[in-house]
Structure 1
């Protein structure tokens, strides 16, 4: 398994411990069991181990003993905002669970426990809310370590996370669920943290290794306090397909033929009984460290993930003068004792369909000889991320200024796309021209594309084997002819295409569906031919993984996806999924991944070093020493693309790798890349296929929403931001959902339904929406909304959407007297998609009302396990035109 190496990045560690409690039994009837003096030693030992571990600089570690939930929240928010590489959260103190045992609570110093049918923990933090806050972190990886009773009960909330959050979040729990543990005698640390610190001190260690070794040690030497006692078995959660995380790599420097080890980590009060830090380091020591940290350039003008921030963090690394070890900044991996400075980090933005393959390629490059200097040090690191293809093109062409300096919530590529990239690899060569600014407006970005693609994959019909044509010659033809032949073999056959807004492959498929992008079939008719319940899948892999949820649908549904996904898009439901064969439409342009160097105005302080790093990766990835591509014997990045089922970027597009995965080795002459004008026209016609859209927003304005109301991140602000995808011809309105019991209408009008100027609507919603000291009735409101929208869609096929933004506090009213079943029946009958947008991280968990309502209506369920604001904006944009005219 690959390992995420956070050294040299903007990392943060937040160590939270509660050794003393204000209210303890028997003095206080609602107090906790007692103080935990061992926790003070935990904080001291772990802080010193991390400072010596080479990953966290001294000024990136925060130690806190919060008295209140507010204090904890402030420290957590600060760590989340600051971390860009690795974010580590550690908690040690009392943990508690209600009688149902379904959620862990972390008790702060002023916590009390009110007994009852289900205990109430006042002054405590629910673990679910911590996960919600962590989900908005920019950090590449998040590691949480819990040393408390019932720590294992935290696993349920982790299991409910979305796939993306599970991939980047690792959780280490000191004990299995529903078990209390011994905190020790108070003269030293708790048994779990004592062993954790020893392992961190021993040498290089990753999360997976630590978890395994802790589990082996604790289960062999300790038992829990349960009756009868059980072996003490720490638990862990980490995505099996994700990279491990390096947590400690204490540097070692040869001295006189012997190896100097890091000094021992002692357990004592931090900085003595007075709690004061030692005096600042001498100017000479600081100078030595700055000299060690100095490297050519810096980076100016790039707000996210900047070199300036990284350098500031690196300079704070402590130097252990007496121990002869400089920790953290210098990484002694050159093999000859010479220090290696942190490698320069490159940022690579790509199409969502290409992201998995490019991640594999980047991992292979980072450990290759091509990425090593003569003395064995790593030249560069690479962060790979993706964003919607249409939004990326728009950001490059029209939003390069706010990409550098966001000016508001409505236009913020840093939030919607990601950090400014050094490299862009679109899935279509034509997207490069589409992204270049053609108007006289000022631009802050220059795109330098290779003259030709380095790989290729045709967009194919992935046909269930039972429906596929047998002779190879019958598997090539026009899209219309191939789909007609499939429907002749199966009258109920369906065809699905991915979201044209999100991937280039979806847009290329749309060109074929519309008959070339400028003429041919009526877009509305073409869209009805690929219509499905709910919105289209965001990627080809998602589409291929969703179909097996319904065996009958899987057996009769053909997917328009890139050919390579027949090889790589099989990592789901492998035991039951339908086998597929590729058929090749000659009128659908193929994917043509292209390497693009991205330059930003003002970002020139480390330009030469960055150019050198980019060129090294480009040469390795594409096989391009000059201007020609040689794919006859794939190596480097082309070998990775070959393993994933791609073809050569030029010539006859021969496969870069082998293997039989339902594709034809030589289907004949394959379509070339799309024309930029064809892609632009197809996207325009897709957005206008069924005319302007209608969206009805339901804003929960009941009393429980008071703490989720103010500012751009409050409920009215979230709805205002989601209007970015609506234009002047779209119709929309907002209802405030709250009312007195028995009132004739359970909502009030915040914004009248109709056409609006977007900026005026965005100002009006926060100004008009008010929290009321009343309850919400989601059943009555949703029934009324479904009826309201049905009346407006009787004479046309315009897209419609209902959005309900709520904290789920009043969802219990949905379950009264069979109401939920009635609502689901109404949702199925009306066929207006409902997006349930829950401000509760578990709002979309299986079995919850939000998930049931969205599924029945053909809509999506969104909660705060993902980026709710961005995803809601995307859902609304699919319904609207986005044009202000």
Structure 2
């Protein structure tokens, strides 16, 4: 009788290394690999059910890297159809100058922290060992800090290879509080044990999606939350990790020293596969052979199947649309639209308009990763979905080829307020679930009448599609009551073209400077809502300019940079007359003639306008009844308005304040934060300047010093901080250094005023990297921090944007959150998304200056 498909699994666990115990507690690795073992063997649908553990090896705390290599070689010696490798332990990251140059090492029990490269397993070596024997399918599951690093760069399009990771790039991950199975592994085991629909096995891609959904349930106060990722090449995403429910288990696999499968067994694998589409009996196989089909003929018949190999499409969108479009992509992947063998997948990336514009201007550099474009704009997309036609014209390069747009949905630009904010602006309550209306003439009068000078939050139009339509609306000269809008019904049917009536430039510039507070503190429409509910100081913002979809789908629990003071606060939305609706053009990028990819793109475009596609769009609060003629935006008019926007903002001066206390030398804090800042400062405009102040320089956490001279041009030199700059003292007095920074900015503004003809030609901001306010034996100075931060933000007009490197990150009630909230800035924790988030923050601060 022919053998069943060979499957092998190697489960590796490492609690400690070199007598050190970091996040994992003794026994956690053993508990975790045992949990995975049970999930793979016990449930009725388990992949190794009925094998009595044959084919699964548990490697507990291997001492040397050679032990891991030997175990991998033994498991893959006979080229199994599936090789699953699971590792739980410590990940050590050696950061490079850029994220693509990082190197991730997986520790063994004898790893020496001083000599990681020679005593730990390099991730690229582990992948090479796993692929060496030619296994048909390879799945690596990594439960370790920084496990998202490098994985997508190790994929090989000619191999069915998959990674499932517990962390994103440059991110640490929790091991839990109870010392048992790690949280990521507990979720992994739960998904593997849960039976799916009858006859449908669990794929790698479905497992990754399920883990991402479970990750959202973590308590918001979790330190180093696990954030899973799935990367696959070839047909790796379609690899099955369970058997279809209701099918009998395979016979136990033979041991590795048994002869390999013969031609008949290989044919059995070909026809039944590891994906369980249909099971043919051995008698049916013999019947086919007897009929003269033969193995070669059957192999050819499989190759000529009408079902094309699966294709993964890359879709780029604006940051505020990424979550919604991910949900739409998931609906597409699960849809049976069109053909029974549809297996396409869509990965979604959110990127700022400025980054996309830079990428489309230099597609060759984008493909090669120049100017950090892979980090800021993501991979080059097959499809582009932006909020409005204005955005499409904004990002188009001189040689960019877009297909004719398919306008898949409409969304409305709205002013969102709390009940208190609506009362302050004199806006009537539209009632539960109803949409009110307001125009800019009314808003201008209401805001001018507020004694506390509260402003409206709005993201930068150079970065955000939401910000762009609202900026266009603010400058539109809406006719008085009783006169028709030039394009038709007020606020609903206006067509923007060159020559559109606008308010006088001086008035528009004044409104931009006095009424809008979003350019330097929010990244997109969702972030504007988070800042609105942050409530510190409560009267700072009267409302947020965002979209109806963002308001309807808003979840305060998802806020990261601005923590909501009262997440349950109800919101009201008012349609802003004079601002164009968002028509969501979806285009194909380029003219790739690759037939499977082109077919899948056409399939997706058709699906978005089908009944199933419209249902998916409606589920994320988008109106699929888009009306293109109502929102057409002329490219020339958009360019003119963006130029006027840039002219309205003074040149930017950024003071970078970098903590070099001894704790910053731990866990790659200094090198990780430095690399992110180097990348972000590269996004400053040509006229912007920055200076670097390091602290502490003396004892007891006191003292600071300017490095390399004041206010130097962006891009002239990297920050250049390294281990030699670290202070021997762990203490750091944050209040003292922020007081010094305020003195720097006060002196610079005095110099501005002394320049003939300039009243105040520069705007100021602070980028602070801190490991906390720590003075031995004393509590953090939260009250004093709030005071000095408020003086920086309110008096000097210099918001502080904090990079928090401590485990609590930006949690409310800690130093980083206190400084960010009271200065009107933001907070981002050290992690894989830091470089991209800081780059967007810097671009927003710079207000789109070229």
TM-score bracket for this pair, using the shorter chain length: 0.5 to 0.7
Match of 2:134? none
Conserved 8 A contact 1:751-1:765? no
Alignment partner of 1:537 is 2:522 = yes
Q: Find the counterpart in structure 2 of residue 29 from structure 1.
A: none
Confirm or deny: 8 A CA contact 1:354 1:427 kept in the other structure.
yes
Give the match's secondary structure for 2:775.
helix
Q: Tell me which of 589, 606, 611 is aligned to 1:619.
A: 606
Matched, 1:525 2:510: yes
Q: What is the aligned partner in structure 1 of residue 3 from structure 2?
A: none
2:94 corresponds to: none
1:422 CA displacement? 1.1
2:109 counterpart residue number: 109
User: Which digits, 9 at most, give the CA deviation of each residue in 1:518-554, with x for residues without a partner?
Assistant: 9535454223343448944333334335434449959
2:461 paired residue number: 500
State the distance in 2 between where 1:354 and 1:577 align.
23
The answer to whether residue 820 in structure 2 is matched with residue 854 in structure 1 is yes
Check the 8 A contact 1:334/1:377 in 2, yes or no.
Answer: no
Q: Is 2:839 the partner of 1:873? A: yes
**Alignment partners' CA distance in 2, 1:695 and 1:639:** 46
- Secondary structure, counterpart of 1:842 in structure 2: coil
TM-score, structure 2 length as denominator? 0.64
**Distance (Å, rounded) in 2 between the aligned partners of 1:554 and 1:644:** 31
2:358 counterpart residue number: 394
- d(CA) in 1 for partners of 2:712 and 2:56? 50
Equivalent runs, 1:642-661 vs 2, <5 Å: 642-647=618-623, 651=627
1:682 and 2:649 correspond: no
**Which residue of the other structure, out of 144, 147, 172, is the alignment partner of 2:186?**
172
Query: What TM-score do you get using the length of structure 1 for normalisation?
Result: 0.62
Q: 1:659-718 CA distances to partner (integer Å, 9 max, x unpaired)? A: xxxxxxxxxxx952322233334334434433111111123334454567799x555444
Show the counterpart of 1:262: 250
**Equivalent of residue 514 in structure 1, options 452, 463, 475:** 475
- Please say if 1:17 is aligned against 2:13: yes
Shift in Å, 1:437 = 2.4
TM-aligned CA deviation for residue 209 of structure 1:
12
Which one of 736, 741, 748 corresponds to residue 699 of structure 2?
A: 741
Q: For residue 594 of structure 1, what is the aligned residue in structure 2? A: 585
**Aligned-residue offset at 1:507:** 1.1
Q: Secondary structure at the match of 1:377?
A: coil
Deviation at 1:259, TM superposition (A): 5.8
CA contact (8 A) 2:28 2:179 kept: no
- 2:403 is the counterpart of 1:419: no
Q: Deviations over 1:204-235 (max 9, x none)?
A: 45999999xxxxxxxxxxxxxxxxxxxxxxxx
Match of 2:685 among 703, 717, 727: 727
Distance in 2 between the 1:370 and 1:772 partners? 61
How far does residue 499 in structure 1 lie from its aligned partner after superposition? Answer: 3.6
Paired with 2:349 and 2:596, the residues of 1 have a C-alpha distance of: 22
Q: Aligned in 2, Cα 1:470/1:172: closer, same or farther, shift over 3 Å?
A: closer
Residue of structure 2 in register with 1:366 after alignment: 333
Which whole-Å CA distance do the structure 1 matches of 2:344 and 2:205 have between them?
25
Task: Spell out, residue by residue over 1:373-419, the C-alpha distance to the aligned partner (whole angstroms, 9 max, x if none).
Answer: 3xx323311122211123223322x2311221124xxx122111212
After superposition, give the CA deviation of every residue in 1:166-212 in whole Å (9 maximum; x if it has no partner).
Answer: xxx945179xxxxxxxxxxxxxxxxx99x988999x9945999999x
Could you tell me which residue of structure 2 aligns to residue 405 of structure 1?
A: 368
1:638 aligns with 2:614: yes
Question: Structure 1 residue 453 and structure 2 residue 407: aligned?
Answer: yes
Cα shift readout 1:113-149 (whole Å, capped 9, x = no counterpart): xxxxxxxxxx9xxxxx97651465767995659xxxx
Q: Which of residues 554, 560, 563 in structure 2 aligns to 1:569? A: 554
Structure 2 matches for 1:110-125, cutoff 5 A? none
Deviation at 1:868, TM superposition (A): 1.4
Gapped regions of structure 1 (runs ≥ 5): 1-11, 25-31, 76-85, 94-105, 113-122, 124-128, 159-168, 175-191, 212-235, 272-276, 289-319, 624-634, 654-669
- Pair 1:577–1:47, CA change in 2 (3 A): closer
Residue correspondences, number: 668
- Matched with 2:132 is none
Task: Please state how far the C-alpha of 1:509 moved relative to its aligned partner.
Answer: 0.4
Conserved 8 A contact 1:495-1:560: yes
Matched, 1:91 2:88: yes
Tell me the residue number matched to 2:709: 752
SS of 1:559 mapped into structure 2: strand
The gaps in structure 2 that reach 5 residues or longer are 1-7, 50-54, 72-82, 91-105, 113-119, 121-141, 153-161, 168-173, 219-226, 231-236, 282-301, 477-500, 558-563, 754-759
- CA 1:748–1:615: 2 relative to 1, 3 Å: same
Mapped to 2, the partners of 1:361 and 1:741 lie a distance apart of: 55
Matches within 5 A, 1:209-228: none
User: Contact between 2:528 and 2:544, CA under 8 Å: does it hold in 1?
Assistant: yes
Alpha-carbon separation, structure 1, partners of 2:728 and 2:584: 55
Q: Which residue of 2 aligns with 1:302?
A: none
The partner residue of 1:844 within 810, 814, 824 is 810
How far apart, CA to CA, are the structure 2 residues paired with 1:552 and 1:742? 32
Counterparts of 1:244 and 1:710 in 2: how far apart (Å)? 22
Distance 1:207 1:253 in 2: 14
Confirm or deny that 1:582 pairs with 2:574.
yes
1:750-790 Cα deviation digits (max 9, x unpaired)? 2211242x34323x735998445455634332221122123
Contact 1:732–1:754, Cα closer than 8 Å, also in 2: yes
Shift of 1:156: 13
